[in-house]
Structure 1
Amino acid sequence: MTPLFDTSFEDYWRATRERLDDEFERTRRRFFDRLPASHLATIRAVLAGGKRLRGCLVCLLNDSLGGTRAAAVPRAMAVECVHAASLIHDDLIDGDTSRRNRPATWTTEGQRRAVLLADLMFATALQRMVELSPDDGLTLAEAIATMATGAYQEPLVPTDLRGFSQDKARLYPELIYLKTGVLFGTASRMGALAAGVSAPLAAHAFEYGARTGEAYQIADDLQDLVERAADQTPTPAQLSLLAPAVWHFCADLAPESSSLTPDHAARLRPQLRSAMLAAIEVRLQQAMAAANQLPSGPCDVLLATAPRHIVRAMSLGAP
């Protein structure tokens, strides 16, 4: 057994990220076999610079359940393509002009070509997984559809609740699952599929990843909306993102209407911070409970420590 399994998660993550970068470089042409070299360079740029957390989860669950690295790589690439494509759409819709310390894709490729590129990456990732197995294809298709459902329904202003339940307190948990939890869960499930395990074990793997992803998203929101903005008046865009968290975590103090003022948001920050930290811990414990349902193996320590380290990795930049 490789000594890598006896190292810390940070060492495993670093080595796996480097290995995946090398493998992606070698397999990109086969993955996107109908693109000319000039367009492959664009794909390379889009995929470059990320943390590879989702791809690492594919490998971690595959390693833990006795799979081969060769089986994990194409699934990791598919998951990373879906993540990168979703970021292209997000940046265009949000008007963000930079990503991972580089110009956002839509600013260099143009809006039309950026949308088409993201669509190409979604479709190609799905095609490659269908070619691997029906289960892989269905798993990735469900993830893409779920993420798209969330993106379409996400409120653009705090009062826009048309797509969600009338219970405003449920909006935030739905958002973090749709935005982040589902793809982390899919990465873990596809790692399990790469190892050829049973459907119940793959379901536990999904639960492990989904709860980890939700904790990651809460930590991201905590940093962006509470910590970094502690001495700043929230912008209208920040209020739109902050409102679902306020309705969920501070229901007793939240405004009765759907509007959230900057003064109200500022007063709620201490309670919001405490509640979000507690929610992160709950999901980390849920991830651990799911991991405990998996067979014992060489990666037990890595599985146990990965969720907490992944949450910490959120503060390192590039999603």
Structure 2
Amino acid sequence: MEFWFRSRAVIDELVEKFLDESKEWETMEMSKYIMRDGKRFRGTLMFLFNGALGGEEKDAYPGALATEILHSASLALDDIVDYDEIRRGMKAAWAVYTNRKVIFVSNYLIPTALSIISGYGDKALRISVDLWKDTAVGALKDMYGKDEDYVRTIELKTASLFKLPTMLSSFSSGRSEFLDTLMEAGKDLGIIYQLIDDYVDCVTQDKDKLVGSARQLFSLTSGKFESFVRMKYREYKEHYETLLRSLPVKHDYLDQLVALPDFLAFGLMGEAGIKNKIF
């Protein structure tokens, strides 16, 4: 919690500085609204894995910022597609500025984030573009995919933007030999996050109002989602811990990295005000 609070404060400063440097006032205003009040989980992953591999924190700043820009843009676009009028306790950006303006600003933010990532080199940029494309495929599967493709859907739509910061940490720390392992770790964390997020929706919402991957989870399990979520959570958590053991993680970061799956899961359930029924 302490590491996350500190990282979130640093990322908020990076976001503010980035927005203040915008030359177009209207673009800055809408971008500021889109990027407000985020949890900054994904940017925090960049700091955690970069530090765990011996990198300097300042070298993770561009990656953390770019990750949060892409994540915020993806949420703004998702809200338009899903007709969601509330985001982070306030009106969604499209409900304030219209969907046309938000689409244009998102189309500004996305290449801007990729340009920032290019500072880590061509390979980092190329992988980032591929991961962004994966989120687009995941969004399609989220709306139109088959129930049996549930895990693949959440890997694409959510885990891609968890893989992004863990992947970038291999470049910021100068440990690119661990690129594949770090991307796998990010995938595991992203699947765990969306799995629990969908579980929360299944617990708190009427089944007829479930949409996207939450609806797929409910249908796939015929409403008996708790045992499925418990099994998959353990599976991906164990695989994640195996990956950690193969990385040269600095001792003072190990406990924090090991705790990440539970931190994400309990955080989502706590935020929703539901009791832990599956662990």
2:183 is aligned with 1:206? yes
CA deviations over 1:269-298 (Å, ceiling 9, x no partner):
xx3212212211211111111111110313
What 5-or-longer segments of structure 2 have no aligned partner? 273-279
What 5-or-longer segments of structure 1 have no aligned partner? 1-9, 255-267
> Which of the residues 230, 234, 257 maps onto 1:303?
257
Cα 1:20/1:91, change in 2 over 3 Å: same
Counterpart residue type for residue 197 of structure 2: D
1:120 match: 108
Question: For the Cα contact (< 8 Å) 1:100–1:317, is it kept in 2?
Answer: no
Question: For the Cα contact (< 8 Å) 2:188–2:236, is it kept in 1?
Answer: yes
1:196 match: 174
1:262 match: none
- Mapped to 2, the partners of 1:303 and 1:139 lie a distance apart of 23
1:276 match: 229
Counterpart residue type for residue 306 of structure 1: L
User: Quick check: which has more Rg, 1 or 2?
Assistant: 1
1:19 match: 10
2:61 is aligned with 1:73? yes
**Matching of residues 50-69 of structure 1 within 5 Å:** 50-69=38-57
CA deviations over 1:19-53 (Å, ceiling 9, x no partner):
111222223344xx4x3234323222211111100
- Mapped to 2, the partners of 1:77 and 1:274 lie a distance apart of 37
- Mapped to 2, the partners of 1:299 and 1:182 lie a distance apart of 23
- Mapped to 2, the partners of 1:132 and 1:185 lie a distance apart of 16
2:154 match: 176
Question: For the Cα contact (< 8 Å) 1:58–1:192, is it kept in 2?
Answer: no
- Mapped to 1, the partners of 2:83 and 2:48 lie a distance apart of 34
- Mapped to 1, the partners of 2:94 and 2:212 lie a distance apart of 23
2:193 is aligned with 1:221? no
Judge which range, 276-285 or 171-180, deviates more. Answer: 276-285
TM-score, normalised by the number of residues in structure 2: 0.90
Question: For the Cα contact (< 8 Å) 2:142–2:213, is it kept in 1?
Answer: no
Helix, strand or coil at the partner of 1:206: helix
Judge which range, 171-180 or 132-141, deviates more. Answer: 132-141
Shift, 1:153, TM fit: 3.4
Helix, strand or coil at the partner of 2:55: coil
Counterpart residue type for residue 194 of structure 2: Q
TM-score, normalised by the number of residues in structure 1: 0.79
How many residues align? The count is 271
- Mapped to 1, the partners of 2:12 and 2:243 lie a distance apart of 29
Shift, 1:192, TM fit: 2.1
2:261 is aligned with 1:313? no
Question: For the Cα contact (< 8 Å) 2:138–2:154, is it kept in 1?
Answer: no
2:163 match: 185
Shift, 1:315, TM fit: 3.2
Question: For the Cα contact (< 8 Å) 1:284–1:307, is it kept in 2?
Answer: yes
Shift, 1:98, TM fit: 0.9
Q: CA RMSD in A?
A: 2.0
- Greater relative contact order (Cα < 8 A, sep 6+): 1
